[in-house]
Structure 1
Amino acid sequence: MPPAVHHTQQQVPQQWVYVKSEPPQWLTDIRAAPPAAIRPATLWSVLATAVLSALLLGEGLGLNLLFVAVPAALAAYFAARAAGRRPRPWTLAWALGGLALLVVPALRDAGWPTFLAVVSALALGSLVLHGGRTWPGVLMGSVGLLGSVGSGMAWAWRGLRERAHGSRDRWGPVVRTTAVAVLLLVVFGALFAGADAAFADLLGGFVPEVSVADGPWRFFLFLLGLIGALAAARTAAAPVRWDRLKVRRGRARGRTEWALPLIVLDLLFAAFNAVQLAVLFGGYDKVLRETGLTYSEYARQGFWQLLWATLLTLLVIALALRRSPRDGARDRVLVRAVLGSLCALTLIVVASALRRMDLYVEAYGLTRLRISVTAMELWLGLVIVLIMAAGVWGARWLPRAVGASAAAAVLAFGLVSPDGLVAEQNVERFRSSGKIDLNYLQELSADAVPALYELPEPYRFCALRGTAERLEEDKEPWYAASLGEARARELLRERPLTASVGCAELGLDEERYLF
Structure 2
Amino acid sequence: MRTDRPLDGVSSIKVKLGLLVGVSVLVAVLVAAIADSAGVAWWTSVPVTVAAALGVTQWLARGMTSPLREMTAAARRMAAGDYGQRVRASSSDEVGELGRAFNAMAADLAGADLERRRLVATVSHELRTPLTAQRALLENLVDGVSAPDQAALEAALAQAERLSTLVGDLLDLSRVDAGVAPLDLAPVAVRALLDRCLAEAGVAGRGARVEALVEPADLTVSADPARLAQLVANLVDNAVRHSPAGGRVHVSARRAGPAEWVLEVRDDGPGIPPEQADRVFERFGTGSDAAGGTGLGLAIVRWVCDLHGGRVEAVPTPPGERGALLLVTLPTAPAADRPSHLRAAAAAAVAPAPSSVPLTVTAPQEATVPTTAPPAPAPTPVGPYGGGGRGALDGLWPERDARPRVGVVAAALVIGLLAALTWPYRGLGLATSVVMLATGALMWAVARHRRDPWTVAGGVLAVLLALVVTLRDAGGVVTLSVLAGAAVAAAALTRAHGLLAVLASWAAWPLSGLRGLPLLARTVSATSRVGLLWPVLRTLAVSLVVLVVFGGLFATGDALFGSWAAALVPDLGWDAIVLRTFVFVLVAGVALAGAYLALNPPAVDLVALPPRLRARPVWEWAVPVGVVVLLFATFLAAQTTAMWGGDAYLRRQTGLTHAEYVHQGFGQLTAATALTVLVMTLTLRVAARDTTRDRLAARGLLGALGLFTLAVVASALYRMSLYQDAFGYTTLRVFVDGFELWLGLVVLMLLVGVMALSWRWVPRAVLVSGAVFTLGFAAMNPDAWVAGQNIDRFEASGRIDTLYLSTLSADAAPVIAQRLPADVAGCILEAPDPEATSSGRTDDALSWNLGRSRAAAARSALATPGSCDGILTDTYRR
Q: Hey, what does 1:276 align to over in structure 2?
A: 639
The code of the aligned residue for 1:74 comes to A
Equivalences for 1:453-468 in 2 at 5 Å? 453=817, 454-467=819-832
Q: 1:428 and 1:475 mapped to 2: Cα distance?
A: 34
Distance 1:264 1:469, change over 3 A: closer
Equivalences for 1:357-372 in 2 at 5 Å? 357-372=720-735
List alignment gaps of at least 5 residues for structure 1.
1-17, 179-207, 510-515
Q: Hey, what does 2:855 align to over in structure 1?
A: 488
Aligned residues: 456
Given the alignment, which residue of 673, 679, 693 partners 1:310? 673
Q: 1:289 and 1:397 mapped to 2: Cα distance?
A: 47
Distance 1:209 1:263, change over 3 A: farther
Q: Which moved more, 1:135-144 or 1:288-297?
A: 288-297
Q: 1:469 and 1:237 mapped to 2: Cα distance?
A: 42
Q: Which moved more, 1:94-103 or 1:35-44?
A: 35-44
Residues 252-299 of structure 1 deviation map (CA, whole Å, 9 limit, x = unaligned): 32212321232233233223324434554x374454454443231121
Q: Hey, what does 2:125 align to over in structure 1?
A: none
On the 8 A contact 1:41/1:78 being kept in 2, the answer is no
**Deviation of 1:439 (Å):** 2.2
Q: 1:28 and 1:47 mapped to 2: Cα distance?
A: 28
Is 1:237 the counterpart of 2:602? The answer is no
On the 8 A contact 2:433/2:470 being kept in 1, the answer is no
**Deviation of 1:371 (Å):** 1.6
Q: Which structure ranks higher in relative contact order (CA pairs < 8 Å, sequence separation ≥ 6)?
A: 1
Q: Which protein has the larger Cα radius of gyration, Structure 1 or Structure 2?
A: 2
Q: Hey, what does 2:657 align to over in structure 1?
A: 294
Q: Hey, what does 2:417 align to over in structure 1?
A: 51
List alignment gaps of at least 5 residues for structure 2.
1-67, 77-388, 541-567
Q: 1:148 and 1:271 mapped to 2: Cα distance?
A: 49
Q: Hey, what does 1:402 align to over in structure 2?
A: 766
Q: 2:646 and 2:457 mapped to 1: Cα distance?
A: 46
SS in structure 1 at match of 2:521: helix
Distance 1:358 1:340, change over 3 A: same
**Deviation of 1:313 (Å):** 1.4
Q: Hey, what does 2:683 align to over in structure 1?
A: 320
Residues 74-103 of structure 1 deviation map (CA, whole Å, 9 limit, x = unaligned): 33234335xxx4420110111111111111
On the 8 A contact 1:39/1:79 being kept in 2, the answer is no
SS in structure 2 at match of 1:61: coil
Q: 1:79 and 1:475 mapped to 2: Cα distance?
A: 36
Residues 233-264 of structure 1 deviation map (CA, whole Å, 9 limit, x = unaligned): 22222222111123125553221232123223
**Deviation of 1:506 (Å):** 6.2
The code of the aligned residue for 2:397 comes to R
SS in structure 1 at match of 2:846: helix
Distance 1:287 1:27, change over 3 A: farther
SS in structure 1 at match of 2:821: coil
The code of the aligned residue for 2:440 comes to A
Equivalences for 1:58-73 in 2 at 5 Å? 58=424, 59-73=426-440
On the 8 A contact 1:42/1:76 being kept in 2, the answer is no
Q: 2:582 and 2:678 mapped to 1: Cα distance?
A: 41
Q: Hey, what does 2:781 align to over in structure 1?
A: 417
On the 8 A contact 2:444/2:450 being kept in 1, the answer is no
Q: Hey, what does 1:29 align to over in structure 2?
A: 395
Is 1:388 the counterpart of 2:751? The answer is yes
Structure number with the higher strand fraction is: 2
The code of the aligned residue for 2:733 comes to R
Q: 2:834 and 2:503 mapped to 1: Cα distance?
A: 43
Q: Hey, what does 1:513 align to over in structure 2?
A: none
**Deviation of 1:365 (Å):** 0.5
Q: Hey, what does 2:164 align to over in structure 1?
A: none
Equivalences for 1:140-159 in 2 at 5 Å? 140-159=504-523
Equivalences for 1:47-126 in 2 at 5 Å? 47-58=413-424, 59-80=426-447, 85-126=449-490
Q: Hey, what does 2:279 align to over in structure 1?
A: none
Equivalences for 1:343-382 in 2 at 5 Å? 343-382=706-745
On the 8 A contact 2:642/2:650 being kept in 1, the answer is no
* Structure 1 ranges of 4+ moved more than 6 A: 18-26, 172-175, 468-473
On the 8 A contact 1:379/1:406 being kept in 2, the answer is yes
On the 8 A contact 2:676/2:709 being kept in 1, the answer is yes
Residues 393-447 of structure 1 deviation map (CA, whole Å, 9 limit, x = unaligned): 4211111111111222222222212211221111111111122222222211111
Structure number with the higher helix fraction is: 1
**Deviation of 1:495 (Å):** 2.0
